[in-house]
């Protein structure tokens, strides 16, 4: 599809006051099970038959030392699509293996960048953060363990990059409770491209309670009855290649702001089918999408039990028929197929509409991810645990939300129009190179009021820490901005939303009541979380320690730009090429890349 001319573009859209493209010639359509080929301002996947591919079972690696290379591969997403270029970790063609870790046993990831070609080399936006033409071939990467309580040197700082011929050994202490984490690329300004291409994988932490073994103290399903599900959205082309672009409005090679996929991908296959026994399954669901939030449910309306989230297990299972999951969030559920007849089917579906600004150019919800087909065999029949914490052979209870000692206001804003260059998203109305960062003190409890002054929801992720959700309140954004105007980009803006709330505090969703590391911040609202920033003694490492931006060279034939790992984006480099601190950011990967990410430090 050719780029629309400026005249054609202006005939079809006008800029709305909320910042975004507002259609003048009509809205979207009712969502269907395939891409909307009639939407003129969107790229589309071809029509594909659903449920013809078997759900891939992701291999698990249980070792204290794991060697993982980032490589260029070819991968087929569907039976009727030829293999197309992708990226992967390890020896896979897409995504990475599931790394199984044990509490108290350090995991060393011997990471190497062996990328030869990037599927989206033409999509690199060289106007962002010092990216240049050489980055299209000397692809920068950085690995982050999302949810990990990790020393700063091993957290995957976006400026601590590895290029082809370089590597780094990441050391994860694994001192936290059992939980579902994931590892993914985190390189400055190209995270959306690297993760979408395939650089992501699950990381399961076990402990003495949640052992993953038959007869575990919690009585949870294991083995073949524990499914790992990496959910994504994509746009694919008829030749099998992936498309990171969603609209011809933005020229190739320019930052777009985010793309709603029109096909659901699970473990690397479009709309797969899983054969399940008639029994209880434990499913770990990860929203590894670049953009969309999903409201997930089963097509027959059956209920399931939420047993855990990002920070570990719930106090007790929570029964529900839906769960809302944003990019970066994980949920741990129990699903019982025992009441279904043999050969019956049930689909995992989504009812969340496309985000408002994406909907304005015709995007609709992506309605389905996969199908389960029930077999004749009886599966796991153990009783569902009534509690998960506080009992014999169980971890301690989560406990009440602590009282904060400090209240901190932060903001999410959109200083210019998404998708129409030049455009940008921001935290606190600042860009990543700002030195005006948050500096909470170690050993203190803070309440963060995250003020979302945009018309779209944003998932906010804090590195290093876990937090509790107090709740959300809608606000009168126009009145707030009139009383507390947002200045030009670069002038810190952290408005007090309290005088402008228009409803009582809505507490967390039932599946949000434990420890979290990522939270959905609804549009035109304030989301309140309570965070504890642990001390160096509690962590076993100094969270404010400096660390080198440089990485190791492993390829003796590498030279020039390929032979060093020092950041090309050195705004925060300390003397000697060192870095300091963690980051917090929107986990819509396009927003994170430009520029909804800031550093923060936990100081003594």
Give the pLDDT score at 17.
29
The residue among 95, 200, 115, 120 whose CA lies nearest residue 165 is 115
Q: 600 near 438, Cβ under 8 Å? A: yes
Q: Dump pLDDT digits (tens) for 443-481.
A: 999 999 999 999 999 999 999 999 999 999 999 999 999
Give the pLDDT score at 503.
98
**How far, CA to CA in Å, does 498 sit from each of 447, 450, 503, 525, 529?**
13, 11, 11, 10, 14
Give the pLDDT score at 569.
40
Give the pLDDT score at 444.
99
CA–CA separation, 464 vs 495, rounded Å? 25
Q: 176 near 539, Cβ under 8 Å? A: no
- Relative to beta strand 107-114, strand 65-75 is parallel
pLDDT per 10-residue tile (average), the chain, 604 residues? 30 31 27 53 95 99 98 99 99 99 99 98 96 97 99 98 97 99 99 99 99 97 98 98 94 91 98 98 98 98 98 98 99 98 98 92 93 97 94 96 98 82 90 98 99 98 99 99 96 98 98 98 99 99 96 58 36 65 98 98 98
The residue among 441, 493, 445, 499 whose CA lies nearest residue 470 is 445
Give the pLDDT score at 40.
74
Domain boundaries along the sequence of the chain: 406-541+582-600
Q: Is 425 helix (H, G, I), strand (E, B) or coil?
A: coil
Q: Dump pLDDT digits (tens) for 532-554.
A: 999 999 999 999 999 999 888 77
Give the pLDDT score at 555.
54
CA–CA separation, 400 vs 315, rounded Å? 11
Radius of gyration of the chain (CA): 23
Give the pLDDT score at 223.
97
Give the pLDDT score at 553.
77
Give the pLDDT score at 38.
57
Give the pLDDT score at 36.
52
Q: Looking at domain 406-541+582-600, which CATH architecture does it have?
A: Sandwich (2.60)
Cβ atoms < 10 Å from Cβ of 512: 22
- 567 CB contacts (<8 Å, ≥6 apart)? 159, 160, 161, 188, 549, 573, 577, 579
DSSP state of 543: T
Tokens of 12: 């079809």
DSSP state of 164: T
């Amino acid at each position: 599809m050719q780029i629309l001319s400026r005249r054609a573009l202006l005939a079809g859209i006008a800029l709305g006051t909320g910042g975004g493209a507002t259609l003048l010639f009509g809205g979207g359509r009712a969502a269907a099970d395939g891409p909307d080929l009639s939407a003129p301002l969107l790229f589309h996947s071809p029509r594909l038959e659903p449920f013809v591919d078997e759900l891939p079972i992701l291999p698990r690696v249980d070792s204290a030392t794991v060697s993982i290379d980032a490589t260029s591969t070819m991968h087929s997403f569907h039976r009727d699509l030829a293999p197309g270029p992708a990226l992967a970790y390890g020896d896979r063609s897409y995504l990475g293996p599931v790394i199984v870790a044990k509490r108290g046993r350090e995991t060393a990831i011997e990471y190497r960048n062996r990328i030869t070609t990037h599927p989206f080399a033409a999509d690199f936006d060289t106007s962002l953060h010092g990216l240049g033409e050489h980055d299209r071939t000397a692809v920068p990467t950085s690995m982050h363990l999302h949810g990990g309580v990790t020393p700063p040197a091993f957290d995957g700082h976006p400026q601590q990059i590895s290029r082809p011929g370089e590597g780094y050994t990441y050391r994860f202490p694994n001192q936290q409770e059992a939980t579902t984490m994931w590892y993914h690329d985190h390189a400055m300004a190209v995270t959306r491209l690297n993760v979408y291409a395939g650089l992501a994988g699950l990381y399961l932490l076990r402990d003495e309670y949640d052992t993953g073994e038959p007869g575990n103290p919690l009585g949870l399903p294991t083995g073949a009855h524990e499914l790992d599900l990496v959910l994504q959205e994509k746009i694919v082309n008829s030749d099998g290649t992936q498309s990171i672009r969603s609209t011809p409005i933005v020229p190739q090679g320019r930052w777009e702001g985010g793309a709603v996929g029109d096909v659901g991908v699970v473990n690397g296959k479009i709309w797969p089918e899983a054969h399940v026994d008639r029994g209880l399954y434990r499913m770990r669901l990860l929203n590894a999408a670049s953009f969309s939030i999903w409201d997930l449910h089963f097509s027959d309306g059956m209920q399931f039990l939420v047993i855990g989230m990002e920070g570990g297990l719930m106090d007790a299972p929570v029964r529900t028929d839906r769960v809302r999951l944003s990019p970066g969030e994980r949920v741990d559920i129990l699903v019982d197929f025992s009441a279904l007849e043999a050969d019956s089917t049930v689909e995992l579906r989504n009812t969340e509409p496309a985000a408002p600004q994406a909907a304005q150019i015709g995007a609709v919800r992506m309605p389905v991810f996969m199908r389960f087909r029930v077999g004749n065999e009886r599966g796991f029949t153990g009783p569902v645990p009534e509690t998960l914490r506080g009992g014999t052979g169980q971890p301690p209870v989560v406990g009440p939300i602590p009282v904060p000692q400090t209240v901190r206001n932060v903001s999410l804003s959109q200083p210019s129009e998404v998708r129409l260059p030049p455009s940008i998203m921001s935290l606190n109305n600042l860009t990543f190179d700002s030195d005006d960062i948050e500096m909470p003190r170690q050993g203190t409890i803070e309440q963060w009021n995250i003020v979302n002054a945009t018309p779209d929801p944003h998932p906010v992720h804090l590195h290093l820490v876990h937090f509790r959700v107090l709740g959300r309140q809608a606000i009168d954004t126009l009145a707030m901005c009139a009383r507390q105007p947002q200045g030009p980009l670069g002038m810190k803006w952290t408005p007090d939303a309290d005088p402008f709330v228009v409803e009582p505090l809505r507490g967390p969703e039932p599946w949000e009541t434990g420890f979290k590391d990522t939270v959905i911040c609804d549009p035109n609202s304030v989301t309140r979380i309570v965070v504890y920033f642990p001390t160096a003694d509690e962590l076993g490492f100094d969270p404010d320690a400096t660390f080198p931006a440089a990485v190791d060279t492993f390829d003796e034939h590498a030279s020039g730009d390929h032979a060093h790992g020092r950041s090309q984006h050195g705004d925060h480099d300390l003397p000697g090429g060192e870095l300091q601190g963690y980051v917090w950011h929107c986990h819509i990967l396009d927003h994170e890349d430009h520029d909804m990410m800031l550093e923060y430090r936990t100081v003594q």
